């Protein structure tokens, strides 16, 4: 009585082994995925973007930006607050012209979860800085 059971187990093992070989052969025969090459850096991409640093002090965020490039950069500060009821903020865009400096601020009522800046090139002359 035990002989048919062993034969069935041996046949099942052999079938699984052969199926594994067949799958391995198909995987080896499949073409390798094409590697994506990074987009080439153009001359405009190299000479763009104000250099910014962000300082978080308690619930206040300050970004200091200086633009060393000959093109104007529109910079926005985004602040995400830690508390669910605290309102996240996005500043108005500030145009930072060539060799210009800008300071952007934001705040939360309580703790700051994260803060980041976004940059966008501006066509034409920079807009005047807001007065006092």
pLDDT digits (tens, 9 = 90+) for 42-71: 445 566 789 999 999 999 999 999 999 999
Cβ neighbors of 113 (< 8 A, separation 6 or more) are: 80, 81, 82
What's the pLDDT score for residue 52? 95
Cβ neighbors of 69 (< 8 A, separation 6 or more) are: 47, 48, 49, 50, 98
Query: Between 40 and 91, whose confidence is greater?
Result: 91
Report pLDDT digits (tens) over 37-48: 444 444 455 667
Residue identified by tokens 């910014």 is: 52
What's the pLDDT score for residue 124? 60
Q: Which ranges of the chain would DSSP assign to H, the alpha helix?
A: 2-29, 43-46
Q: What is the rounded CA–CA span in Å between residue 126 and residue 72? A: 6
């Amino acid at each position: 009585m035990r002989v048919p059971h062993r034969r069935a187990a041996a046949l099942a093992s052999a079938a699984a082994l052969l199926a594994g070989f067949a799958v391995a052969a198909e995987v080896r025969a499949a073409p390798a995925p094409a590697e994506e090459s990074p987009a080439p850096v153009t001359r405009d991409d190299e000479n763009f973007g104000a250099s910014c640093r962000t300082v978080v002090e308690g619930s206040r965020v300050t970004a200091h930006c200086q633009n060393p490039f000959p093109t104007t950069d529109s910079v926005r500060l985004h602040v995400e607050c830690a508390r669910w009821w605290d309102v996240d903020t996005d500043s108005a865009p500030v145009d930072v012209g060539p060799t210009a400096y800008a300071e952007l601020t934001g705040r939360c009522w309580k703790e700051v979860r994260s803060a980041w800046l976004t940059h966008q090139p501006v066509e034409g002359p920079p807009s005047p800085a807001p007065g006092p």
